Amino acid sequence: MSRPLVNFCLAILASGCFATVGAAQNYQAPPVLPYGGTPMLQVAPDGAVHLDGPYASYSNPSYSTPAGNVMGQPMLAQPAPVAAAGTPKTFADWLYNDPVPPQFIHRTGFFGEFLFLRPRNAEVAYALPIDGPVAPVLGNEVPIGSTAVVDFEYEPSFRAGANLRLSDSSSLAGQYTFFRSEATDAATINIADGVLRSLVSHPLGANAATDTLDANASNRLDFDLIDADYRGALFGCESCEGKCANVVNYIVGGRYAMMEQQFSSNFVVTGTTSVNSNVDFNGGGIRLGLEGERHTTATGFFVYGRGVTNLMVGEFEANYQQINTLNGVEAFTDWKAGRVVPVLDMEVGIGWVGPRRRLKYSAGYMVSSWFNVVKTEDFIHAAQEHDFRDPSGNLTFDGLTARVTWEF
């Protein structure tokens, strides 16, 4: 081979090597995903979406991204900062931001309740208009007018209590009920029409001269109740489709009761004859019951019902006294005996729950019936007849209730 031809071949070979080295120096390896990695969508400057995977090579747009975001990825909404662990919640957080609880679970709370009740079957007939002084034996007189009766009307009272959550399906409850009632009455008659005969005086301590033209009487009936209960869920549900919630709880607990009946009357003749009676009861026992609610969750309104049977064991103490301002004590006796006193409490009504289910209003009608009770009128009759074998009857309280409840 001639020398010029050899030189030409060497020149071509040298230029090819330099080109290969330059290309190798300018070569960039394609991006390789880590093992198990997931390809990411990236947006190119032309707006097209490309898959960033092996051997997919293009230039990313040169714009900045917030820390934590991947270049070229759509920017995600940043979450609100979270309070550090252990930071106490504010009252506003608790009031407005806590999850809304289901209607049927048990919760801690307290309540105050206004009661407007009337005692029934507790009246006392104390005087009767008759056609003139006659023999002092009850039953010989002829009535000529309306019987004078001291009876009760509706009286305000209150009930207050609290509930302590043990679990979603159980709680402890306590409440105190305060009731006071007083009634007064007065009677008078024209002497030309007749006289007033006492219906509460002892027949052997009376005489025709004790018949009067003016009489008055007062009657009191008070009670205090303390209840302590365990409440457990029998059934509870809430439906988003039906927009309603139902709950039924059972009640097991105890009650302590104090009841006092006081009666006094005055008959103005020669001097004044007063007849007074007191009947007190103290006792306690068990209580069993059911309560239920049905809510319309879309509006917050609900209806409720409650029934509780109380079986109390206690003791009645009673006394009777007749006093004349001139003669002194004309008749006196006292009496004491143990009794079992069943009490049936029933209540129905409607209410409304606030949007956060913390504030609750309710109003309803209640009836409370006391059985095997020694009443004032029955005891006075027993003292007049000297018959204490069974001085008992029934008392009933009924009226309206209005309650405000706050639950946590």
| CATH number of the domain within which 314 lies | 2.40.128.100
Least confident of 16-25, 130-139, 221-230, 345-354: 16-25
Please answer whether residues 314 and 257 qualify as being in contact, where contact means their C-beta atoms are separated by less than 8 angstroms: yes
Residue 64: predicted pLDDT: 37
Among 262, 236, 260, 255, CA closest to 247: 236
Domain count, the chain: 1
Confidence of residue 46 (pLDDT cuts 50, 70, 90): low
Q: Note whether residue 285 is domain-resident.
A: yes
Residues 115-143 have a mean pLDDT of 83
Q: 48 CB contacts (<8 Å, ≥6 apart)?
A: none
pLDDT value for 140: 67
pLDDT band at 297 (very low <50, low <70, confident <90, very high): confident
Q: Where residue 231 falls among pLDDT bands split at 50, 70, 90?
A: very high
Decide if 8 is inside a domain.
no
**Predicted local confidence at residue 379, as pLDDT:** 96
pLDDT value at residue 7: 55
Indicate whether 32 belongs to any domain.
Answer: no
Q: Is residue 223 part of a domain?
A: yes
What pLDDT score was predicted for residue 92?
Answer: 57
Q: How confident is the model at residue 42 (pLDDT cuts 50, 70, 90)?
A: low
Residue at 44 is within a domain: no
Question: d(Cα 397, Cα 261) in Å, to the nearest integer?
Answer: 14
pLDDT of residue 298: 86
Cα separation, 258 vs 281, in Å, equals: 6
Q: What is the mean pLDDT of the chain?
A: 82
Containing H/E element for 233? strand 214-239
Task: Identify whether 230 is part of a domain.
Answer: yes
In whole angstroms, what is the distance from residue 364 CA to residue 347 CA?
A: 7
Overall average pLDDT of the 224-244 stretch:
90
Average pLDDT over residues 311-329: 93
Share of the chain above pLDDT 90, in %: 57
| pLDDT, greater one: 93 or 130 | 130
User: Looking at residues 182-208, what average pLDDT do you find?
Assistant: 86
Over the stretch 106-116, which tens digit does the pLDDT of each residue have?
A: 999 999 999 99
Confidence of residue 63 (pLDDT cuts 50, 70, 90): very low
The pTM (predicted TM-score) of the whole model is 0.74
171 within a domain of the structure (yes/no): yes
Q: Which domain holds residue 200?
A: 105-407
In a domain, 250, yes or no: yes
CA distances from 270 to 62, 208, 209, 210, 322 (A): 118, 12, 8, 8, 15
C-alpha to C-alpha distance for 370 and 373, rounded to whole angstroms: 7
